[in-house]
Amino acid sequence: MKGHIASISGPTVRAASLDGCFMHEVVLVGDEKLMGEIIRIDPGYAVIQVYEETHGLKTGAPVLRSGELLSVELGPGLLGGIFDGIQRPLEDLHTHWGNFIGRGAAVKRLSHKRKWHFTPSLKVGDPVEPGTVIGTVKETETVTHKIMSPPGVSGKIAFINGGDFSLVNTVAALDSGHKFSLRQRWNIREPRPNGGRLPFTVPLITGQRVLDTLFPIAEGGSAIIPGGFGTGKTVLEQTIAKFASADIIVYVGCGERGNEMTDVLHEFPRLKDPYTGRPLMERTVLIANTSNMPVAAREASIYTGVTIAEYYRDMGLRVALLADSTSRWAEALREISSRLEEMPGEEGYPTYIASRMAAFYERAGRFICHGRPGEQGAITIIGAVSPPGGDFSEPVTQASMRTASTFWALDYGLAYQRHFPAINWRTSYSLAAPNLAPWYEANAARGWGAMVSETNSILQREEELLEIARIVGMDAMGEPERVAIEAARLIREGYLRQSAADPADSFCSRTRQRQLLAIFLYYARALESAQRGGAALEKILAAPMTERVLRAKYLAEEELETESEVIKTQTAAWFAREET
C-alpha cells in the first residue's frame, strides 16, 4: 500500500513499489499528502498526475495508495456550492487556509455536520431497485432532492426513518444489509447508468434571440461556442447560465482567467432567477479551476461537473452544463500527454483528443431515469472553445464540431462593431432545428417556422447584395436593393443584437421573441411595399418609425402588443401620405 517517488516532471510523478495499484486509483504523494491519480502503469512503476503544485517534492518521498477511484460526493448541499476541480469547497478552504490555499489541503467535500430533513417515500417491506426513490430532502426552496438507490443495489426495505439527519447518518436499510445515507459516491470518469435515450423534441430556451430564433439547441443537446479572444464567449456562457430554462445549472470555469471567475463568484450569488424570483444560486453549482491552478485538476474539473449534472439528471431534472473553456481542458491533456512522452498528434495534442471530446459530449442527452421508466431527465452541454487566432480549423474546434449538434460561431468583425452576441449567422448552424420545429409551432407561434425562414431570407439577401456593393459601391445599387439592405440592418441591429447589461434586453422570453420578430418582419415588408408603390428612397430611409421599431426591444412584454399596433398605424399613415 506504500511506495516512494522515483522521479518528478512537473505535475507528473513516477512512483516505485506500488504493488497491486490500478488505473485511475487515487494516491497521496509526499509528506504533504498531495492528491494524485494513477494514469499509467509500467513494470515496476506507476505514473501519477498530481492535482496540486509539485514544487518541493523529492525522490524517495512516500506515496500512499487509497484503493479508491477519483470520485465525487453526491447529496444535498451541492446546490449553491462553489468547488474547485476536485470538488473541494472553496469556502471551507478559505476558512481553514485564508486567501492562499496550502498544499495538501483536505476538507470534506460536502458538510457532514449540517442536518437535512428526510421525508421517506417508502415503508417497510417495499421493494427497492436501482434508481428507486426512497425519500426526499428539501435542498432549496425551489429544488426537492431525491434520495435514490445507487446502481446495483436492490432488496426490500427493512427499516426506514424520517427526521433530521446528516449526510452520513443511516436513514434506511434493506433486508440484504445495505444501508442508505443521504449521500452517494461516484467515479467521475464513468457515466452514470440511464434507462435509455429519448429524441430531441423540446428546446432549451436561452433568452438570447439570435440563438433561440435562428440556431436553437435542444434539451439534452450539445453546443459549442468557438471564438477568438474578445469575441464574448465568457459573457455569452454566463448569460446563458443566468437565463437558461433549466432546473439546474452547473457552471465549470475550466482554466478561466482569475478575474473573470471572480466576477462569476461575486455576481451569481446576487442574481435573481428570472423564472422563480428566488436567488439563482439555489439551483446552481459552480466549479472554479482558474488558469493559475494546477493543470491536472483542470483536466478533472470537466468530469466533476458532468458527474454532478448526471446525478441531478437522474432525479428527473433538466440540467444545463456550461464549460468555459474546453480548449484549456484540451491544453491540460496536451501537457500531461507530453510529460508521458506519448506520440503527439496534430499541433501537439494527444492522438486521442477527438475520442475524449466525443466521450464528454456524448454524456449529454435526454434520458429515461434509471429504474424509473415514467420519469425523464436531460443534460444539455454547452462548451466554449478558444481557438488560437480564431482559427476554426484547429484540432479542438474540429473535434468538438464532429460531436456537438449545434454550432454558435463567434465573429471578430461583429465583436469589433460592438454587436453582441457576436454570433455569425452565416456560419452557425443547428442540426436540432428540424426536430424542434413542431414545438415552436405549438408553443411559440403558429407560423413560427415561416417567420424564421423569412428572417433567414432577408439576411441571406443582404449578404449577397453587400458582396455586390463591395465591388460597385453602395451608391450604384438600385432602390429595391437599398431597401432590402435597410430591412436586414433593422433585423440585425434591433432583433439579433442584444445587450447583456440592459435589464430589459438581457433576457427575452419566447413570447417577447415572437412579438418582436413580428414587429420587425412587418416593418421590413412595409418598407419593401412602399418602395414598390413608388415612395422615394430618401423618404423610406428617413421614416420616423424606424427608431421606434429599433427601441421596441427595450419595452416590457406587456407593452409590446400596444406598441405593435402603434407602429402599424403610424407606418400605414406615413406611407399613405407619401403616396398622396
User: For residue 325, is the peptide bond before it cis, meaning its omega torsion is within 30 degrees of 0?
Assistant: yes
What are the distances in angstroms from CA 199 to CA 220, 250, 579?
9, 23, 53
pLDDT in tens, 408-458: 999 999 999 999 999 999 999 999 999 999 999 999 888 999 999 999 999
pLDDT confidence bin for 497, thresholds 50/70/90: very high
Give pLDDT, residue 271. Answer: 82
- Whether pLDDT at 248 is above 90: yes
Question: Of all helices (H) and strands (E), which one includes residue 198?
Answer: strand 197-198
Query: Could you report the per-residue pLDDT of 393-412, keeping only the tens digit for each?
Result: 999 999 999 999 999 999 99
Say how far apart CA 572 and CA 116 lie, in whole Å. 63
Say if strands 172-174 and 127-128 run parallel, antiparallel, or are unpaired.
Answer: unpaired
Backbone torsions φ then ψ of 176, nearest 5 degrees: -80, -10
Per-residue pLDDT band at 577 (split at 50, 70, 90) = low
**Residue 275 to residue 220: CA distance in whole angstroms:** 20
> What's the DSSP call for residue 210?
I
The mean-pLDDT minimum among 91-95, 348-352, 558-562 falls in 91-95
Please list, in sequence order, all residues whose beta carbon lies within 8 angstroms of the beta carbon of residue 202, skipping any fewer than 6 positions away. Answer: 218, 219, 436, 439
* Segment 153-190, tens digit of pLDDT: 999 999 999 999 999 999 999 999 999 999 999 999 99
**What is the reported pLDDT for 580?**
45
Chain centre distance of CA 482: 40
According to the 3-state scheme, what is the secondary structure of 363-390?
CCEEEEECCEEEEEEEEEEEEEECCHHH
Classify 7 as helix, strand or coil. strand
Positive or negative, the CA dihedral 205, 211, 217, 222 is: negative
Q: Could you give the residue ranges of the DSSP H alpha helices within 244-286? A: 258-267
**Are the beta carbons of 430 and 405 closer than 8 angstroms?**
yes
Look up residue 494 and give its DSSP letter: I
What Å distances lie between residue 65 and 20, 99, 294, 300, 486, CA to CA?
9, 30, 21, 19, 68
Which of 405, 491, 507 is CA-nearest to residue 452? Answer: 491
Q: Which three cell numbers stand for residue 527?
A: 418598407
Helix (H, G, I), strand (E, B) or coil at 333: helix
The angle subtended at Cα 222 by Cα 216 and Cα 224, nearest 5°, is 85
What are the structural domains of the chain?
2-69 (2.40.30.20), 116-181 (2.40.50.100), 197-432 (3.40.50.300), 448-579 (1.10.1140.10)
Predicted TM-score (pTM) of this structure: 0.93
Q: What is the pLDDT of residues 99-110, one digit of tens each?
A: 777 777 788 899
